[in-house]
Copies of this chain bind each other. A is one copy, B any other.
Amino acid sequence: MTTDRERAVFEAAIKLGALYHQWVGTPISRQSAGSVETAIEKAVILQPFVEEITVNLDRSLMTENRFGYSELSGLMFNVEIVTRVGFSYCHARLAPEKGYPFMSIVECNEIPGIPCH
């Protein structure tokens, strides 16, 4: 048996793994980064169990190649996501940690359901 809390964790991780591999490699620049952040957020929020998503791409890493642009790489991602299953929430994150694009659970919470009288 899995709990709502475990399923909230599961759903958060699916979305982080998915968005990473969907968008990594996209040509990007400091000027276009905002459009990619918006597109990712709007794509992820469509998916089941997602309550909130924010995407910040690290422009300081967008160094220009000889054609004047960069490529979206793992270490540029700073993503916070909140999923909900039943009354359980999971807040998870994708962010650089010691040179690796690291996905982790920030915290899980249960909110009390509406009591029955």
Contact = CB atoms under 8 A, between A and B. Distances in A.
Contact of A92 (B10, B25, B29, B68): B10
Nearest to A37: B39
B22 A26 contact: yes
Interface residues of A, number: 52
Interface string A103-114: 111011000000
Interface of A: 2, 5-7, 9-22, 24-29, 31-32, 35-36, 38-39, 42-44, 46-48, 65-69, 71, 74, 92, 98-100, 103-105, 107-108
Given A18-B20, A21-B21, A66-B99, 15 more contacts: A7-B105, A9-B9, A11-B13, A14-B103, A17-B19, A18-B21, A21-B22, A26-B39, A26-B43, A28-B46, A32-B39, A35-B39, A36-B43, A48-B67, A65-B99
